Amino acid sequence: MRALKFVKHRLYGRGTVLETRHHGLELRVAFERGPEQWVRYEDVCSLEEEASPAPPAPAPSLSSAPSAARTLIEALRLGIVPHSHVAQFTVGRESEVAQIKSWLHDGPDGAFLLVGEYGAGKTHLLEYTRMLALHEGFAVALAALDANEAPLYRPKRVYQKLVASFGWGAPDGTCQDFRELLRAISRQSHDLLTHPYLGPVLEMLRRGDEDPERWAWIEGCESRCKPILYDHSTAANLYCHLLTALGWAVARRLGGKGLLLLFDEAEVVNMLVTRDQLARGENFVKGLVWACQSRPELLQEEGNLDGPQTRLRYHGHARVRFLYRSPSYTKAILAFTPTPALEVPYLKALPRMHLEPLPAAVWQSLFEQVVDLYRAAYGFALPSALQARVMARLRHSLPGTHQSLCQGRGGSPGSASLPRA
């Protein structure tokens, strides 16, 4: 694995590598247009090699070069399924995938719940859904929520995560980032020039005079630009308005299906410390769900601190509607572990999928893939008797405790703990 110094990430842009971990599989990079981030080695390219954004390379087969197989093994040990292998390690979920695909095509808006215990594979299924939705014509953004770094009562921090992960399938077949999406919108849309937040960026792009400060502003980073993108707990309406405007533009001006928002670890809404934080987090989730549903009353509320019909809280200095236009062309999937928060009315009414543990036969299939991977990496075949002993131990762990096979809370079928060769 070659050491890198100056790199480019297709979402975060250019940056300098500060340090590495996990045998070089992850890099800490100081990006020019945002905060430092830990990213995967496979997701960056050297600036000496990078020419233009490109879609992910096809996943190498398990019989590929030993070095590629060893890199994949190291990633799996860390509980990481590389993006290029997500489809390959998505097994035993045919029914769930069909249900999600049907929902994606069922109308231009809506929200959906994905419910499962820790280790059931929610994170992995969200990653697969991201790939599927990009192929189906959606712009997609995924945020892993966190009670400290990206809590739901701080909508701007959630927005930052969404923007950083933004992906959009451009007409030329490449997967482009948030900036490229706005550049495309600026060439196609006049409607949004009067938008209070997107308008200044689109005007900048139409002039051909790109200002790093303005880019940092619309991406939710520190900036002196106006109008202010508030980092207040009451600013949920501002960011819902922004996101639904993007969804509308993708569908109505770029010919796509709209915007799909994916939220992992959404149960953090029920883990907030104070009553005020809980109320603000619920305000954001409720407003976002209703905006994704294109609720008509959201278009009738403007200029209020508290919505007279919805009882949603609006920001005192940015009283834009939660919903830009109807339909919103914005959809959301929220992944939860079972929690009492799912019983609140605005979530209880949503369609949901309960992600059950994978059956033993599927784990057997995954185990055989891993055995083949070790054969490709190290050139030896695990004796049949030893395979049977290992699989017997795995089966013993499966009933009710299948998550013990996975490392961490984001475990998935492809993240089972692996022995070292």
Q: What is the pLDDT along the chain (421 residues), one digit of tens a residue?
A: 567 778 887 666 778 888 887 777 788 888 765 556 777 787 788 865 443 334 444 454 544 478 888 888 887 887 778 777 788 788 888 999 999 999 999 888 899 999 999 888 899 999 999 999 999 999 999 999 988 888 999 999 999 999 999 999 887 778 889 999 999 999 997 889 999 999 999 999 999 989 999 999 999 998 999 999 999 999 999 999 999 999 999 999 999 999 999 999 998 887 767 889 999 999 999 999 999 999 999 999 877 789 999 999 999 999 899 999 999 999 999 999 998 889 999 999 999 999 988 887 888 888 888 888 888 888 878 888 888 888 888 777 764 444 433 333 344 443 333 333 3
The C-alpha atoms of residue 165 and residue 146 are separated, in whole angstroms, by: 15
Round to the nearest angstrom and report the end-to-end CA distance of the chain.
18
**Nearest by Cα to 37 from 56, 19, 55, 24:** 19
Give the long-range contacts of residues 249-254, CB within 8 A, separation 24 or more. Answer: 249/185, 249/189, 249/192, 249/198, 250/138, 250/139, 250/168, 250/181, 250/329, 251/108, 251/329, 252/329, 253/185, 253/188, 253/189, 253/191, 253/192, 254/181, 254/184, 254/185, 254/188
State residue 68 phi and psi, 5-degree precision: -65, -40
> Sign of the C-alpha dihedral, residues 68, 69, 70, 73?
positive
**Nearest by Cα to 26 from 97, 70, 66, 78:** 78
pLDDT for residue 398: 63
Packing angle between helix 384-397 and helix 360-378, nearest 10 degrees?
Answer: 140
pLDDT for residue 405: 36
Strand order of the sheet with strand 138-144? Answer: 175-176, 167-169, 138-144, 258-264, 330-336, 110-115, 352-354
Other C-beta atoms closer than 10 Å to the C-beta of 242 total 23
